[in-house]
Amino acid sequence: MADTRPTIAEELRSNRAFEQLSPKTIDSMATVSRRLAVSPGDLIVREGEENSDLFLFVAGTAVAVRNSEDGGLVVLNAIAPGDCIGELTFLGGGRRSASVRAETECDVIQIPAEALQSIPDAPAVIGDLKGALASVVVNRARSMSDEMLASLRRQLEIKTIQNQFGHFLIFTMAMFLIATALFYLVAEEYVQNVYDPGFSWQAVIFLAVPCLLIIKIMKIPMAELGIKREGLARSLGEAVAICVVITIPALIYLFAFKPRSTASEFGVTVDAFFLVQYFFHTIFQEVGSRGLLQGLFQKFLDDTKGHKAILLTSTVFASLHLAFGIDAVIITFVASIVFGYVYLRQKNLIGVTVLHYWLGVLAATMVAF
């Protein structure tokens, strides 16, 4: 059966490494080149041998390997059809720096260096070929340099994330310790009224310290905390709409069905001072919980969907309300789940802050009146 494959000259001419060569150089190379059929596992070149031949891969795949100090083999890179190997030793001589092992049946064109020396006009042909190979080597070096830089960047990013995770772990431990300390103060009856704004602001200040430290140490930009203009209008509009929907049934219950109570009965007073101070209180809570905690959980857990981050944030957020009783823990856990998904959708703190504030005001109103 006739061989229908392209001739060696056609293979050389169609290869990117040799596309700048003159027709005469291609024809001269073809006269001394030969095809090799290489079986899987065979070595095409061997590390350490003195051989300057070029090899052009026409079909099949191979790998470049190098002997390691423990006697094993280290795979350097894969070799595919169209690749040319042996440029460095052809250009500068010396020993092979690595072996090339066939992984599949390979069709290879061998261009013997010694045979090229004996052809007519050998200096012109070899000079033309070396110019083309030098261009290939430069491009490959540039590509390897880019890959090395990218690899270094990835390593630096990994190192940075490791350091940040250590800080984040200390931060979450501090949050739980503060929550435990606040609960202890209430349990020991040092605090008579947990709804007193003074106690609430003391708690916020205690919690703000580790939050501010972690923001400073990790150099977290405001945008990553959800404090940004992007999406602000949409976030605010959606929050207001949700607040309106929730307020209507709450008011119906408050005026039509709820028995009257006194503010002193539950220690809650809804007045202008409460409304103002609770608004700023809510801002601090949302920056710490949604903007900081949820964002960091999502980052370190590589939680693209955000479900784990919301669950963990809600757990931490609920634990901070131990001082207010188990009912408050359950309510804040459920509310935090809702707030988490609202923030996950909007990526802007304004909406979830308004929603949190208004729900808190409604809850206080339902208790106080």
Co-location of 107 and 168 in the same domain: no
Look at residue 5 in the predicted model and tell me its pLDDT: 66
Co-location of 174 and 239 in the same domain: yes
Co-location of 108 and 166 in the same domain: no
Q: Which two tokens stand for residue 300?
A: 């370190």
Question: From residue 148, how far is each of 80, 91, 141, 263 by CA, in Å?
Answer: 21, 24, 10, 67
Number of domains in the chain: 2
pLDDT tens for the chain, 369 residues long, are 445 567 888 888 888 878 788 888 888 888 889 999 999 999 988 888 888 888 988 899 899 888 887 777 788 888 888 888 888 888 877 788 889 999 999 999 998 888 888 888 888 888 888 888 887 777 776 766 666 667 667 777 777 777 777 777 778 777 777 777 766 666 566 666 656 667 777 777 877 888 888 888 888 899 989 999 999 999 999 999 999 999 998 888 878 777 765 544 555 677 888 888 889 889 988 998 899 889 888 888 888 899 999 999 998 888 877 777 788 788 889 999 999 999 999 999 999 999 999 988 888 887 777
343 with 349: CB under 8 angstroms?
Answer: yes
CA–CA separation, 232 vs 180, rounded Å?
A: 35
Look at residue 138 in the predicted model and tell me its pLDDT: 74
CA–CA separation, 205 vs 190, rounded Å?
A: 18
Co-location of 192 and 324 in the same domain: yes
* Domain extent for 163: 158-368
Query: Could you give phi then psi for residue 35, rounded to 5 degrees?
Result: -85, 145
Structural domain contains residue 237: yes
Structural domain contains residue 193: yes
Co-location of 208 and 349 in the same domain: yes
pTM of the predicted model over 0.85: no
